[in-house]
Amino acid sequence: MGGSILVTGGRGQLAQSLAKLGGQRVIVVGRPEFDFDRPATIAATIDRYKPSLVVNAAAWTAVDLAESEVDGATRANETGPAELARACARHDIPLIHVSTDYVYAGDKGTPYTETDPISPQTVYGHTKAAGEQAVLAENPRTIVLRTAWVYSPHGKNFVRTMLNAGAKNPQLKVVGDQSGNPTSSDDLAEGILAIIEKLQQGWQDGYAGVYHATGSGEATWHDLAVTALQEAAKAGQPMPEVTAIRTQDWPTPAKRPKDSRLDGAKLEKVFGVKLPHWQDSVARTVKEIMVPQKP
C-alpha cells in the first residue's frame, strides 16, 4: 500500500490538517469535484485517483441546522459515505471514516468504551450513527474513528468562536455541565497518519471496527472556553469574565450529550496511538491563531 491517500472534505478542519501534515501522498478532494449530494461524483473520484487508502473527513457538521435539514444531513453523513464505502470495497481500498461522540446519549456517567450501546439524540447523531453502520457493512476494510469537540486554527469551531466572542464582549456565558474530550484537528490528523503507517505493514482482519480517537484529558465547554481565552490573554487579548451556566440556560434546537467522554484505550492497544492532552494543544492552537497578521 504505497500509493496515494485520498482525503474527502477538502476545506474542512480535518482535511486541511491532513493536507498540511501528510505530505505529498495526500490528495484532498472537496466540492464540487466530490459531493455527496451528487452521488455520481463518488465512484468517479475513486476511479480517477485510484488511491491506496481513503479518509472520509467530509460530513454535515452543523448540529442545530441538521434538525431541520434532515435530507442534506442524511446524504452527507449516511447514504453518501455508504456509496463511498461501496466504491472502495470494489477496489479493496481500506477506508478510515470519521464519526462523533454525539452517537452516544451522554448519560453513562463514566467514559464510553466502543462496546457501549449508542443512542443518538439528534438528527446529526442519528445520521452519523447510521453512516458508521453503513460503511462497516459495505466495506470489510473499514476503520471508524469517533472523535469529539474538534478545533483548529482554521474553519468553524468552538475555540475560534470563543476567541471572537471574547474580543468583542467583556462577559461570556458558557455551559459548564456538559463534559467531553476536546480534540485538536492537527493531533487527530497525526493520529490518522500513524494508523495509516501501521496499515501499510499489511491489513489485518482484526483492524476493522470502531475506535475512539480524542484528545487526552476531559473538559466542560466552560473549561475549554476559559483555557482558550487565557491563552489569548497571554498574547494581549483582553480577558472577559466567563460565567459557567447550565444547559437549560443556553437552549439549542439539538440536545447536546451531558457527558460524552470517550475511553481511548482500544486505539492505543491496537495502533499504539494516543493523542496529546487538550490543554497543550489548545495553547498551541491559540498561539497559531494569535500570530499578528502581516499588513
Ligand X SMILES: Cc1cn([C@H]2C[C@H](O)[C@@H](COP(=O)(O)OP(=O)(O)O[C@H]3O[C@@H](C)C(=O)[C@@H](O)[C@H]3O)O2)c(=O)[nH]c1=O
Ligand Y SMILES: NC(=O)C1=CN([C@@H]2O[C@H](COP(=O)(O)OP(=O)(O)OC[C@H]3O[C@@H](n4cnc5c(N)ncnc54)[C@H](OP(=O)(O)O)[C@@H]3O)[C@@H](O)[C@H]2O)C=CC1
Residue nearest to ligand X (CB): 100
Size of the site for ligand X (CB under 6 A): 20
Site for ligand Y, residues 96 to 135, rule: CB under 6 A = 98, 100, 128
Q: From the list ligand Y, ligand X, none, which binds 276 (C-beta under 5 to 8 Å, kind-based)? A: none
Q: Does 155 sit near ligand Y (CB under 6 A)? A: yes
3-state secondary structure string, the chain? CCCCEEEECCCCHHHHHHHHHCHHHEEEECCCCCCCCCCHHHHHHHHHHCCCEEEECCCCCCHHHHCCCHHHHHHHHHHHHHHHHHHHHHCCCCEEEEEEHHHCCCCCCCCECCCCCCCCCCHHHHHHHHHHHHHHHHCCCEEEEEECCEECCCCCCHHHHHHHHHHHCCEEEEECCCEECCEEHHHHHHHHHHHHHHHCCCCCHHHCEEEECCCECCEEHHHHHHHHHHHHHHCCCCCCEEEEECHHHCCCCCCCCCECCECCHHHHHHHCCCCCEHHHHHHHHHHHHHCCCCC
Give ∠ CA 287-233-291 in degrees, rounded to 5.
30
Please select the residue that binds ligand Y; options are 89, 96, 148, 267, rule is CB under 6 A: 148
| Gyration radius from the chain CA atoms | 19
Stretch that binds ligand Y, among 144-152, 200-208, 245-253, 258-266 (CB under 6 A): 144-152
Q: Which amino acid is at 261?
A: R
Q: Does 256 sit near ligand X (CB under 6 A)? A: yes
Q: Which cell numbers in the block locate residue 122?
A: 439528534
Q: From the list ligand X, ligand Y, none, which binds 126 (C-beta under 5 to 8 Å, kind-based)? A: none
Residue nearest to ligand Y (CB): 12
Q: Are 181 and 278 in contact (CB under 8 A)?
A: yes
- Smallest distance, ligand X to C-beta of residue 194, A: 21
- From the list 104, 112, 124, 211, the catalytic residue is 124
User: Does residue 112 have an active-site annotation?
Assistant: no
Please select the residue that binds ligand X; options are 174, 193, 226, 262, rule is CB under 6 A: 174
Q: Does 42 sit near ligand Y (CB under 6 A)? A: no
- Smallest distance, ligand X to C-beta of residue 235, A: 21
Q: From the list ligand Y, ligand X, none, which binds 9 (C-beta under 5 to 8 Å, kind-based)? A: ligand Y
- Smallest distance, ligand Y to C-beta of residue 238, A: 26
| For ligand X, the closer CB: 142 or 185 | 185
Site for ligand Y, residues 64 to 103, rule: CB under 6 A = 75-76, 98, 100
- Residues at the contact surface with ligand X, assessed by CB under 6 A: 61, 63, 100-102, 148-150, 158, 161, 165, 172-175, 178, 221, 250, 252, 256
Catalytic residues, which ones?
124
- Residues at the contact surface with ligand Y, assessed by CB under 6 A: 9-14, 30-31, 34-37, 57-61, 75-76, 98, 100, 128, 147-150, 155
